[in-house]
Structure 1
Amino acid sequence: MDTVAEWNAIAFDVCSGLGGGTRQSRALAVTHLAIHDALNSIRPVYATYARGLPRGPKASPQAAVAAAAHDTLAVMAGDHQMQLDKAYEDAIDRLPDNAARGEGISLGKAAARAILAMRSRDGADRAELHLAPQPFAPGRYQPTPSRFDPPIVPGWRNVTPFAMRTAAQFRPLPPPALDSEQYAQLYNEVKRIGGLHSTQRTRQQTATAKFWSGDALATWNEIARNVVNGRAGDRDRGNDLDLWQSARLFALLDAAAADSFISGWEAKFHYLNWRPVTAIRRGDTDGNAATSPDPDWSPLLVTPAHPEYPSTHSILASASANVLQCALGSDAVPFAIASDKVFFGRTRHFERFSQAANEVALSRLYAGAHFRLANTRGLEQGKKIGQHICNTFLPPLASAAAASVSANR
């Protein structure tokens, strides 16, 4: 197994209790940026996220990876200290006890300290602010059944991005007016095929909705691990990724995921668009003669507790697909992925990353969680995030004049 991919799996295991994709994505981005920077302190191949790191050309890369991952995760997910210490000790014990190992540990620790310091004032500690209850108004977000929980971490829109210049850099155009023909078409479509008792949604569409309903961040990282580890075991060594390439791939992927949540939350709480379940139950208030209410309508799957527009599932999927295409040089990379939530043991096969991203977007319509436009605009938004990261973030030093990348481009 690829060493970086191994620590990615450990990171997901210990970060599972952080409370949703927002905080998990930040922890994963911090961890993989530390790993990336530690390796590039040994042999500079790509620009680093942090500046002024010590150099150690004779250091052990594996020791640097283990130390960087351990020390970042010990801060980000400290409730799992014993598990982290055991994984770290196992990784270090596999290496010769020599000066290279010691120097690698020092470089990994230095990278972890630098990245943690850079992100210590990024606003994540203030994200739990509460959104004051809003009086009902047509089109405005309201908490949704069955629990009617308040919105999840509305302050996440104020967290400093990793690669974007601002959280609003790729904000999509607004959703259509409630009295428009476009809105009526979107309304009637999700009402027809996204409902719990829909007779027009196919069995395959229902399966697609459930397959992609789990942890999107975990799913795309698992896709990356499967591809990286598959190439490590490939007889064609030309397909193999070296440690530096693997570290950059995961750093790009998780920075893109973290920025997807920040960008998505900024747009969601800017527009505060109501969810289909609210819109359809209160369809008599939208001023559109082409929409009819159904006070008993429920979506196929439980609606997440945050505003509807745009779809963060779709943003993250598109950003991830674009980053993987960039890092691996092609969209046409076959892979398999098992659902992490509803269909344990169910596996789907894809020929392209974009194929999976497009299916994710459709799944949110079938689930009754989003109007179609939130998904298509989410794909567009994610593509812009992914391409921005590919073009500007952690570039190869040969094309970056050997310059380090500042924290917020």
Structure 2
Amino acid sequence: MLKKIRFPYLAILLIIVFNSCESDNDPITNESEFISPDQFNSEVVVRWFNLIKVLTTETAGYTPPVAARAFGYTGVALYESTQVGMANKTSLSGKLNGLNLETTYMDGLEYHWPTVVNSTLASMTKYFYSNASPSNYTSILDLETEFSDQFLNDTDSEVINRSIVFALNLVDEILLWASTDGGFECQFNNFPSEYEPLPGVEFWKPTAIDQQALQPYWGDNRPFITLNVENTTPADPPAYSTDTNSIYYIRALEVYDVVNNATPEQIVIAEFWSDDPQTSATPPGHSISILNQLINDNNIDLFAASEAFAKLAVGINDAFISCWKVKYTTNYPRPVTVINNQIDANWGTILETPPFPEYTSGHSVQSGALAKILTSIFGEDYSFTDRTHEDRTDIDGTPRDYDTFYDMAEEAAISRLYGGIHFQEGIDLGLIQGYQIGENVIDIFEN
């Protein structure tokens, strides 16, 4: 049964009715007299996603696919909560699979857009992180209250209440839609016990004692955009072989040699991009962190921030569905398995090998989508600094500089080779897979 986190509607509606009865003025029907979402700053967006980054790190069950899904629906809800106030923007309803919104937004009435966004993000966050620790859940409530109190001074109570009701009804529709995608309450079932890896040395096997496959059915989830699964599938990886002249063996030997001769800088890169659950907000959270930094650094307005997050959210969500579809179709083994079987039985990796098949690289796919989408927003030659891990002490989180978003994506991708957990094809073709997903997302928003 779908969980709903709701305000006391009856009290809100009574306030609205009371206020409307006392007013002698008819609603203003000229929408140009109202303040549109792009006239507000994006502080409410930046602070909510900073909190979401913490919650993703510290809430049980938030593996990369699960985080990508939560970000996906939250980003779509954020966009839909603001696009109605922009005369030149249209809904994603009818463009994303299964999304058919019937919002309660009313033309000709005033809305306070920061309140709309605060209520939207608070409700989405309370839903997706319902199993957060008591202290972290309190942080959600506190941030919501802080903004609510602040916004009370910005406009009258009727506008505030109307804005809250619109946001809550929208969230209900978004969450109902989300409940039918195949990933409902996925944070509570990351490792389905009934799944059995395929037999045969050519297929992926767990690489640690008692390891189980992570989200083996994720590729069957409904993507936001069908093309993100249908037209992004790469060619098959090199075929299994014991021939020392085969591409299969040569690729394994490449990983073996890179790890054995890893430079200090390569190890720093591997750890910077590892983004393991429980120690970070996972790779999707790293992408969200980069965008949040750019929004804050560039003083981007409320609507532009909402649209940027929606584009990235759709891309990240679909990147993990598309990637996982390929992973559990090819069931390609990890380098450590091949190397232990054919080259060196005692060899180990720099990074811990994740519990799912190798091909393609999830880091590559989602980083490719990230690069393509951010380039479309900020430009081809945009240089920036990634400060995502600057407060961490368990790794060298020194901020890293990039000349373009593609440079960043390529470093994130190759980091998996340095860590010993991916072959070259999974990295290179994963990036191409991600670039195509990014293109598909951009097309949806432009057409």
TM-score tier after normalising by the smaller chain length: 0.7 to 0.9
In structure 1, the partner of 2:44 is 3
Amino acid at match of 1:327: I
Say yes or no: does 1:79 pair with 2:131.
yes
User: Is the 2:233–2:433 contact (alpha carbons within 8 Å) kept by the matching residues of 1?
Assistant: yes
Indicate the larger mover: 331-340 or 302-311: 331-340
What amino acid is the match of 2:437? I
With over 3 angstroms needed to count, the CA separation of the structure-2 counterparts of 1:26 and 1:45, relative to structure 1, is farther
Match of 1:210 in 2: 271
Matched, 1:40 2:83: yes
Residue aligned with 1:91, SS? helix
Is the 1:273–1:307 Cα contact (8 Å) retained in structure 2? yes
**Distance in 2 of aligned mates of 1:100 and 1:268:** 49
In structure 2, the CA distance between the partners of 1:310 and 1:148, relative to structure 1 (3 Å rule), is: farther
Tell me what 1:261 maps to.
320
Query: CA RMSD, aligned part only?
Result: 2.0
Matching residue within 147, 152, 174 for 1:91: 147
Q: How does 1:227-242 map to 2 (within 5 A)?
A: 227-232=294-299, 241-242=300-301
What is the identity, as a one-letter code, of the residue corresponding to 2:78? I
Distance 2:90 2:104 in 1: 14
Greater mean alpha carbon deviation, residues 242-251 or residues 270-279: 242-251
Can you give the 5+ residue segments of structure 2 that lack an aligned partner in the other structure?
1-41, 94-100, 276-281
- 1:236 maps to which residue? none
Structure 2 counterpart of 1:225: 292
- TM-superposed deviation, 1:245: 1.1
Instruction: Report 1:79-228 matches (<5 A).
Output: 79-80=131-132, 81-95=137-151, 96=153, 97-125=156-184, 128=189, 129-130=192-193, 132-134=195-197, 136-145=199-208, 147-165=209-227, 167-179=229-241, 181-194=246-259, 198=260, 200-214=261-275, 215-228=282-295
Give the conservation status (yes or no) of the 8 Å contact 2:389–2:397. Answer: yes
| CA contact 2:84–2:90 (8 Å) conserved in 1 | no
**Which shifted more, 204-213 or 39-48?**
39-48
Match of 2:373 in 1: 323
TM-score by length of 1: 0.86
TM-score, length of structure 2 as denominator length: 0.79
Question: Paired residue for 2:56?
Answer: 15
1:2/1:228 contact within 8 Å kept: no
Q: 1:182 to 1:144 in 2, by over 3 A?
A: same
Looking at structure 2, the residues matched to 348 and 54 of structure 1 have their Cα atoms a distance apart, in angstroms, of 44
Cα distance in structure 2, aligned partners of 1:345 and 1:45: 41
Give the superposition deviation at 1:19. Answer: 2.5
Do the aligned partners of residues 296 and 309 (structure 1) sit closer, same or farther apart at CA in structure 2, a change above 3 Å counting?
same
Q: 1:19-59 CA deviation, whole Å, 9 max, x = no partner? A: 21111111111112111111122334432234332324510
1:265 is displaced (CA, Å) by: 0.7
Q: What is the alpha-carbon distance in structure 2 between the residues aligned to residue 338 and residue 228 of structure 1?
A: 14
- Distance (whole Å) between structure 1 residues aligned to residue 441 and residue 253 of structure 2: 36
Distance 1:134 1:39, change over 3 A: closer
Q: Which of the numbers 390, 393, 400 marks the counterpart of 2:442?
A: 390
Per the TM alignment, residue 333 of structure 1 is displaced from its structure 2 partner at its CA by 3.5
SS in 2 for 1:316: helix
Q: 1:266 to 1:345 in 2, by over 3 A?
A: closer
What secondary structure, in the 3-state scheme, does the structure 1 residue paired with 2:75 have? helix
Structure with greater Cα Rg: 2
Aligned residues between the structures: 373
Counterpart amino acid of 1:114?
E
1:134 & 1:68 partners in 2: Cα distance?
40
* Secondary structure of the corresponding residue to residue 306 of structure 1: coil
Could you tell me whether the CA contact under 8 Å between 1:268 and 1:310 is conserved in 2? Answer: yes
| 2:329 equivalent in structure 1 | 270
Letter in 2 for 1:373: E
Letter of the structure 2 residue corresponding to residue 175 of structure 1: P
Percent identity of equivalent pairs: 23
The structure 1 residue matched to 2:302, chosen from 217, 240, 243, is: 243
Q: Is the 8 A contact 1:35 1:108 kept in 2?
A: no
Q: What residue in structure 2 maps to residue 403 of structure 1?
A: none
Distance, in Å, in 1 between the alignment partners of 2:158 and 2:396 is: 45
Residue 46 of structure 1 aligns to a residue whose secondary structure is coil
1:219 corresponds to which letter in structure 2?
H
Change (3 A) 1:329 1:164: farther
State whether residues 130 and 154 of structure 1, in contact with CA within 8 Å, keep that contact through their aligned partners in structure 2. no
Q: Secondary structure at the match of 1:154?
A: coil
Q: 1:41–1:107: 8 Å Cα contact kept in structure 2?
A: no
Q: Would you say the 8 A contact 1:212–1:339 is kept in 2? A: no
Separation in structure 2 between the aligned mates of residue 105 and residue 33 of structure 1, nearest angstrom: 17
Contact kept, 8 Å, 2:383 with 2:401, in 1: the verdict is: no
Cα–Cα, structure 1 residues 387 and 42, in superposed 2: closer, same or farther, change >3 Å? same
The verdict on how the C-alpha distance between 1:77 and 1:204 changes in structure 2, with shifts beyond 3 A counting, is same
Per-residue deviation, residues 368-392 of structure 1 (Å, max 9, x unmatched):
0011110001100000111110111
> Which SS does the other structure have where 2:131 is aligned?
helix
Residues 232-285 of structure 1: CA deviation (Å, up to 9, x unaligned): 1xxxxxxxx3211110101111211111111111100000000011111112xx
Cα distance between partner residues in 1 of 2:179 and 2:62: 19
Q: Does the 8 Å contact 2:385/2:399 carry over to 1?
A: no
Inter-partner Cα distance in structure 1 for 2:246 and 2:83: 54
Amino acid at match of 2:248: Y
Quote the residue 2:26 is aligned against: none
Distance in 1 between residues matched to 2:119 and 2:176, nearest whole Å: 16
